[in-house]
Amino acid sequence: MFRSVLTDRLQAAFTSAGIALPEGFKVTVELASDTRFGDYQSNAAMILAKQLKTNPRALAEQIKAAFSAEDLCSDVSIAGPGFLNFRISPAALSTKIQAVVQGAQCDVIQVTQPQTIVVDFSAPNIAKPMHVGHIRSTFIGDCLARVARFVGHKVITDNHVGDWGTQFGMIIHGWKTELDHKALKKDPIHELVRTYKLINAKTKEDESVLVLCKGELVKLQQGDEENLGIWKECVRLTLEQLEKVYGTLDIQFDHYLGESFYNDALAPLVEDLLARDIATISEGATVIFSDGQCDPKDDPFLVKEGDGWKPTPAIIRKSDGGFLYATTDLATIDYRVKEWKADEIWYVVGAPQQLHFRQVFATAHRMGHTTAMTHIAFGSILGPDGKMFKTRSGETVGLLEVIDEAIERARAAADEKDQGLTDSEKDEIAHIIGSGAVKYAELSQNRLTDYKFSWDKMLSLQGNTAPYLINAYVRTRSIFRKLEGSDVTLTADVVLTEPAEIALAVKLAQFAEATHDVLVDHRPNTLATYLYELANTYHSFYEACHVLNSQGTVRNTRLTLCEATSRVLKTGLGLLGIQTTERM
Ligand code: ARG
């Protein structure tokens, strides 16, 4: 990609200009913030001049003189206090566009040091409602896994489903007293959640129900055969249905190692932590306190109280012997490191669990793990009124309901348009547009901010939406449909001359940067923004330049640009987990 080539060349220019870079100084090149001056820019001369206490512009001049890139840049200029601007030459762009069209993966380079990355996402809780947090996690996690794989990492996706916990006391009691077995067959998740909610409400009114639930839970934990059987059936039915949902959404997990998978590892883990003095007994419970190794304000085991700091230990075993969410997460890390040799673990989980993960990561480090663990947090989804998001039926929103409604709405829109498509074609398109719209609405947002869910906006053909991008793809395909049967050579020379052609070529070349940048801070929206800009640049090109009415090299060049746009849009949307259609 141009950015890394320019970075290497710039680094070399410092050396050949005889300027020694201070220890740890990193030469960086960025995409230009103002494309009037160049396609890429660097503030390296300015930063270095500050450190060396010399004149930044003079330093920039010196570097510019030593910079060799005739094969790459048509212009290198200095702006403002010492910015270096680089304009990529049409010839270099031509070569790149041919590579985008001919090479694998649109010519996006692979990382030089592939890592084994475990992506932990979606992770709903069995028999509990799947909420908005699980929707965000599912789409963000899937996208990050796709991108990481695409750039060459070894990715393992794992669905850490909440398949063990106190909710099973209520579920088992409900199973024995209230469950509608017919409804369970039809829609297990729905019926289990209904039962859970019902019993949960009853326990609030009637203390004796709570006692019964607790009794069922204890029996389950002690290995009672009947209760274990019910639990297993709940898990089996839910996973079966979940896999169908993920299938519909084209989302794959390599593993479904839920919380229960780690049950046998918990007691030995706690004993080990006690033996190594990482954990302590406090008021009968086993807990982890601060080890005092970091600044109190960065210490996840301390909270500010008045002028001082108060301990907030992580509990890993309650005084009644029960284990907790954190205990399971620690055992999970052990497993992922030992069995999968994870170099990195990414947790795509809502922001409210921040403290939990900080404590778990700190403890894992104390246990000796060097794996890089990252909590990839996100905010909430709000309804159009800015309050908690609800579906048409007034229920809090789960993944299933949202996707079903989106597809239904996209289908109605397809009927309205009626472009002579068959019913099954319309169904397929509605599926692609509907689920794509929901995914894109999510992935085009900065993950840390709350966003408003709006059906009309996400399904609109205008603006930064999936339908707009899919439609841009459809338009590129329609050009080639018109050419069917005629002789098109995309391998011929590409000669870029018009500003609109060059602008499009630059944008296409930057797919590589956009893809790699997603992983810098785990932000799918950088890719979404890129694709939206690409579609806009393509439309401007299409308005400014005749494609089919042109001749010879001009025509070939433009067709190659259309083909490259088509590929990048399809590949880029694919990385967001969004499919494309040839017509809509
Ligand atoms: N089941 C949890 C929840 O719904 C999310 C699990 C996330 N993954 C993890 N390893 N803790 O909140």
CA of 532 to the centre of ligand 1 (A): 32
For residues 130 and 397, give the distance between their C-alpha atoms in angstroms, rounded to a whole number. Answer: 8
Nearest CA to ligand 1 atom 4: 124
Smallest CA separation from ligand 1 atom 5, residue: 123
DSSP 441-471: HHHTS-TTS-EE--HHHHT-SSSSSHHHHHH
CA nearest neighbour of 432 among 470, 458, 477: 470
Which of 216, 130, 131 is closest to 172 using CA atoms? 216
| pLDDT for residue 115 | 98
Q: Which two tokens stand for residue 159?
A: 């669905």
In this predicted structure, the answer to whether residue 210 has a pLDDT above a threshold of 80 is yes
pLDDT for res 397: 66
Average pLDDT over residues 317-325: 94
pLDDT at 394: 59
Evaluate if residue 370 carries a pLDDT over 70.
yes
pTM metric for this prediction: 0.94
Among 360, 357, 358, 352, residue whose Cα is nearest residue 297: 358
Own/partner pairs, 239-243, CB within 8 angstroms, 24+ separation: 239/161, 240/188, 241/187, 241/188, 241/189, 242/124, 242/159, 242/161, 242/189
pLDDT of residue 393 exceeding 60, the answer is no
Pocket test for ligand 1, best of 156, 160, 324, 337 (most atoms within 8 A of CB): 160
Contacts of 119 (CB under 8 A, 6+ apart): 141, 144, 145, 148, 155, 156, 157, 158, 346, 348
Q: Is residue 93's pLDDT more than 70?
A: yes
Residue 181: which H helix or E strand, with range? Answer: helix 181-186
Enclosing H/E stretch for 231: helix 225-248
Q: Ligand 1 centroid vs 376 CA: distance in angstroms?
A: 12
Q: How many CB atoms lie within 10 A of CB 68?
A: 13
User: What per-residue confidence (pLDDT) applies to 452?
Assistant: 86
Instruction: Inform me whether the pLDDT recorded for 539 exceeds 80.
Output: yes
Atom of ligand 1 nearest to the CA of 357: 11
Query: How far apart are the CA of 187 and the centre of ligand 1, in A?
Result: 23
From the CA of 270, how far away is ligand 1's center (Å)?
Answer: 20
Closest CA to ligand 1's atom 11: 329
Does residue 198 come out as left (phi exceeding 0), alpha (psi in the -120 to 50 range) or beta? alpha
**Residue 129 clears pLDDT 80, i.e. is over it:** no
Ligand 1 probe mutation, 138, 235, 349, 359, most atoms within 8 A of CB: 349
Residue 489: which of 564, 559, 566 has the closest Cα? 559
SS3 label, residue 345? strand
Is pLDDT of 131 > 80? no
Q: What is the tens place of the pLDDT at every residue in 326-341?
A: 999 999 999 999 999 9
Domains of the chain: 2-88 (3.30.1360.70), 116-162+259-376 (3.40.50.620), 167-248 (no CATH), 399-575 (1.10.730.10)
Residue type at 453 in one-letter notation: F
Six-digit token string for 138: 């599912």
Identity (one letter) of the amino acid at 153?
Answer: H
Ligand 1 atom, smallest distance to 353 CA: 12
Structure tokens at 236: 């089996």
Question: Which residues have CB under 8 Å from 540's CB, separation 6+?
Answer: 500, 503, 504
Q: How far is the CA of 571 from the centre of ligand 1 (A)?
A: 30
3-state SS assignment for residue 88: strand
Q: Which amino acid is at 144?
A: L
Instruction: Please give the distance, rounded to the nearest whole angstrom, from the Cα atom of residue 361 to the centre of ligand 1.
Output: 14
Mutate to test the pocket of ligand 1, among 353, 373, 375, 380 (most ligand atoms within 8 A of CB): 353
Distance in Å, CA 327 to ligand 1 centroid:
13
* pLDDT of amino acid 396: 62
Distance, CA 371 to ligand 1 centroid (Å)?
19
**Alpha-carbon span 163 to 126, nearest angstrom:** 5
Would the pLDDT of 564 be above 80?
yes
Question: Which atom of ligand 1 approaches the CA of 325 most closely?
Answer: 11
Cα–Cα distance for residue pair 89/74, rounded to 1 Å:
4
Q: What is the Cα–Cα distance from 357 to 336, expressed in whole angstroms? A: 16
Q: Which atom number of ligand 1 is nearest to the Cα of residue 347? A: 8
The set of protein residues with a Cβ atom below 6 angstroms from ligand 1 is 120, 123, 125, 160, 162, 329, 332, 347, 349
pLDDT per position as a tens digit, 447-477: 999 888 888 899 999 999 999 999 999 999 9
Query: Percent of the chain having pLDDT more than 70?
Result: 98
| Residue with tokens 């997603």, as numbered in its chain | 518
| Residue-wise pLDDT tens digits, 276-318 | 999 999 999 999 999 999 999 999 999 999 999 999 999 999 9
Evaluate whether 287 touches 324 at the Cβ level (below 8 Å). Answer: no
DSSP-based helix, strand, coil % in the chain, nearest 5: 55, 10, 35
Residue 489 has pLDDT above 60, yes or no: yes
Cα–Cα distance, 283 to 265 (Å, whole number): 23
Distance CA 533, CA 510 (A): 11
Cα 120 to ligand 1 centre (Å) = 8
Say whether pLDDT at 417 is over 70: yes
Position 87, amino acid: R
Measure 243 CA to ligand 1 centroid, in angstroms.
17
Residue 390 confidence (pLDDT) above 90? no
- In angstroms, rounded to a whole number, what is the distance separating the alpha carbons of residues 124 and 349? 11
ipTM (interface pTM): 0.99
Evaluate whether 159 touches 201 at the Cβ level (below 8 Å): no
Residue 534 has pLDDT above 70, yes or no: yes
Closest C-alpha residue for ligand 1 atom 6: 123
**DSSP state string for 210-230:** HHHHHHHHHHHHTT-HHHHHH
pLDDT tens-digit series, residues 137-164: 999 999 999 999 999 999 999 999 999 9
Question: pLDDT band at 395, cuts 50/70/90?
Answer: low
In angstroms, what is the span from residue 160 Cα to ligand 1's centroid?
6
315 phi/psi in degrees, rounded to 5:
-90, 130
Tell me how far the alpha carbon of residue 122 lies from the centroid of ligand 1, in angstroms. Answer: 8
The closest of 559, 537, 486, 532 to 39, measured between CA atoms, is 537
Please identify, by atom number, the ligand 1 atom nearest to the C-alpha of residue 128.
Answer: 4
| CA-wise closest residue to 371 among 326, 325, 339, 328 | 339
Residue nearest to atom 8 of ligand 1 (CA): 160
Q: Quote the mean pLDDT of the chain.
A: 93
Tokens read off for 473: 């793809």
